[in-house]
Amino acid sequence: MDAIDSIRHQSYHNWEIVIVDDHSTDNSVDIYKKLEGDDRIHIFFNSDNMGCGYTKHQCVIHASGDICGFLDPDDALTEDAIQIMVDEYEKHPDASLINSTCFNTDEHLNVISISSYGCSIPQGHSFLTYRQGITAFATFRKKCYEQTEGIDPLMLRAVDHDLYYKLEEVGNVYYIDKPLYYYRQNTSNNISLGEVNMLKAHAWDVYAMVNACRRRGVSIEENALKNVDVFVKYGINMGASQVRNSKSYKLGRFLLHPMDSILRRRKD
């Protein structure tokens, strides 16, 4: 309930919450019952477990507001987050996406640090070539979103990157140098599971990047090389024995192979 409570306590009151339940099997229904009676909260249900891409795609479809943003259920917003975002959109009518930096917190939402990610994207770059430029709290204009293909419903992970690529293609991106989001860090001790999930996220990240290159008519290989450090880190985290010294091998192993698997899945 931390995420929902952080919205209820906003200094800006003209908000709505859209929840799309992805066929959950936990106690989510009990939580929904506590939200009954608040006409600003709208709850929808997937008939089957469809994954992150499909579910977030549905969230935007059901949203009625002009400005949208995703809040993960483990995280929370600062009390002034929405008001600051609304003010920034009024200042920047050309903005398709506005984001801020965030607080890193422990499992109890106690602040540990301010994230080192997030900054204004340098002139001449985009999120495609400067990956640290967009982070939570990321919001977007729905009318700009509707000019894109929308979030790819096939994607299971790295959905935010797919969204960022598409939004920067239809408008300008702005950055607020103030933490507006509490990001609860993963406290799981299951290192192996974390590494596997990281590689899975990387594969979908590559998928989103390749599609962005195709839409923009730019070289997939050149953009992959600009982000080689991002791609290689996944290989290093999976174990040095899997990584060769050749950059071409690293790119082939950690870029092309996951992409090939995803393309086969899409055809199926």
Specify the CATH number for the domain of residue 61. 3.90.550.10
Residue 65: predicted pLDDT:
95
Domain match, 206 and 158 both? no
Residue 151: predicted pLDDT:
97
Q: Give every CB contact of residue 234 below 8 A, 6+ residues apart in sequence.
A: 198, 199, 202, 254
Q: Which of 163, 184, 205 is the last residue of a domain?
A: 184
Domain match, 108 and 234 both? no
Q: Which of 158, 184, 210 is the last residue of a domain?
A: 184
- What's the total number of domains in the chain? 2
Among the listed residues 95, 74, 72, 90, the one whose alpha carbon sits nearest the alpha carbon of residue 12: 90
Domain match, 47 and 93 both? yes
Domain match, 160 and 209 both? no
Domain match, 211 and 131 both? no
Contact 175, 121 (CB under 8 A): yes
Residue 262: predicted pLDDT:
53
Domain match, 73 and 168 both? yes
Domain match, 197 and 178 both? no
Q: Which of 129, 149, 184 is the last residue of a domain?
A: 184
Tell me how far apart the alpha carbons of residues 106 and 113 are, in angstroms, rounded to a whole number. Answer: 10
Contact 63, 142 (CB under 8 A): yes
Domain match, 131 and 241 both? no
Let me know if 11 is exposed, middle or buried by CB neighbors in 10 A (0-12, 13-18, 19+): exposed
Residue 263: predicted pLDDT:
53
Domain match, 173 and 253 both? no
This model's pTM is above 0.85: no
> Mean pLDDT in runs of 10 for the chain (268 residues)?
94 96 87 89 95 97 97 95 98 98 94 90 90 89 98 94 97 96 74 67 89 93 68 46 43 50 54
Residue 246: predicted pLDDT:
42
How many CA atoms lie less than 13 Å away from 161 in the CB half-sphere?
23
Q: Which domain does 153 fall in, by range?
A: 2-184
Domain match, 99 and 178 both? yes
Let me know if 165 is exposed, middle or buried by CB neighbors in 10 A (0-12, 13-18, 19+): buried
